[in-house]
Structure formats: structure tokens, C-alpha cells
Amino acid sequence: MRSTGETAHETAEGGERDAEAVGRFLERFAGELTQAGMPRMASRVFAALLVSETGALTSAELAERLRISPAAVSGAVRYLTQVSMIGRERDPGSRRERYVLHEEMWYEVFTRRDQVLARWENTLREGADTLGRGTPAGERIAETAEFFAFLHQEMAQIMARWRARKAS
């Protein structure tokens, strides 16, 4: 049974992909994303794009592979484009859109997360001042702001090391 709607086919390495195993992996990884907070359908659509050979699929292909409605695909795609995990492209000479993974998708995701951390840090610092840094609540908020400042600083260093590693 091919749960993703894919047939077995040749991989870039010349071997045949086991569609059932690919389907199991897709659902397992989608489950991990869902447990981490991503909406379920968005997780499944993202995982389907990730395991596709081209990293790009149409709405109809996603609906068929995942056995979901076009409306479910639409909602998932809307979420994934809003968080910059995928983009849209038109097929040349066609009105059909293809949904594609961004080249530096994980870098983009974590860069955006880093920007969120910076905003949270600033808001928490203001909150600590508002509550009074000498109060238990103010101290708790200030410590949380320091934690986010630490994460923000470390994330910048991690991203720089990733760019250097990828370049080599």
C-alpha cells in the first residue's frame, strides 16, 4: 500500500525508492513537526515536499499523495508560505502553481525565529522595568529576557558557523 500516492521509482543514486517506507517516514517526520507546534496539515504538506525528488509539487499532486482535500492543501500552503518555509512558482506556460521548498529554508526559519527572540527580549526588558526589577515578578521577567538575549547571541554565531560550513 502506497500511503503517499507515489509509485516506486528510481532515485538519483540509481536505486528504487520504497514508497511505503517513504510514506512512513513522511508521516513520522510530519508527526514530529506537529508535536513541535506546527499545524498537522502544514506538517504533512511540508514533509511531502521535503521527500519529493524535486522539492516542488502542485496542489493536485499534494492532495493525491497525502489523500487530503484541496481545501486542506490550501490552508497548509497558506501557513507554510506565511512562515517562509515554502514559496509559489508558476509552471512555465501554465496557470498552475507549484509549491517549492526554499533553497535555504532552515536558515530562513531559524533566522525568523531569531528575530522573534529579539522582539521577545525587548518586550520582556520593558516588562521587567514596568514590574520593577526588584520585585519577584520583575526579576523573573528580567531573567527570561536575559535567556532570550543569550539565545539570540548564540543563534547568530550558530548561523555564521553554518554559512561557513556550507561554503566549504
**What's the CATH code of the domain at 40?**
1.10.10.10
Residues 114 and 75 in one domain: no
Quick check: is 83 in a domain?
yes
Same domain flag for 25 and 65: yes
pLDDT in tens, 71-109: 999 999 999 999 888 999 987 788 889 999 987 777 777
Give the pLDDT confidence of 125-167 residue by residue, as tens digits. Answer: 999 999 999 999 999 999 999 999 998 889 888 888 988 998 9
Task: Establish if 4 belongs to a structural domain.
Answer: no
Q: Which of 101, 135, 151 is the last residue of a domain?
A: 101
Residue 81 located in a structural domain = yes
- Which of 46, 77, 101 is at the close of a domain? 101
Gap between the Cα atoms of 24 and 146, Å rounded: 41
In a domain, 136, yes or no: yes
Q: Is residue 138 part of a domain?
A: yes
Say if CB 35 and CB 96 are below 8 A apart.
no
Which H/E stretch holds residue 146? helix 136-167
Domain count, the chain: 2
State which residues form the domain around 131. Answer: 105-167
The string of DSSP codes covering 87-131 is EEEEPTTSS-EEEEE-TTHHHHHHHHHHHHHHHHHHHHHHHHHHH
Q: Which helix (H) or strand (E) holds 86?
A: strand 86-90
Q: 53, 81, 101: which is the final residue of a domain? A: 101
For residue 7, pLDDT over 50 is answered with no
CA angle 58–96–98, rounded 5-degree value: 35
What's this model's pTM, rounded to 2 decimal places? 0.72
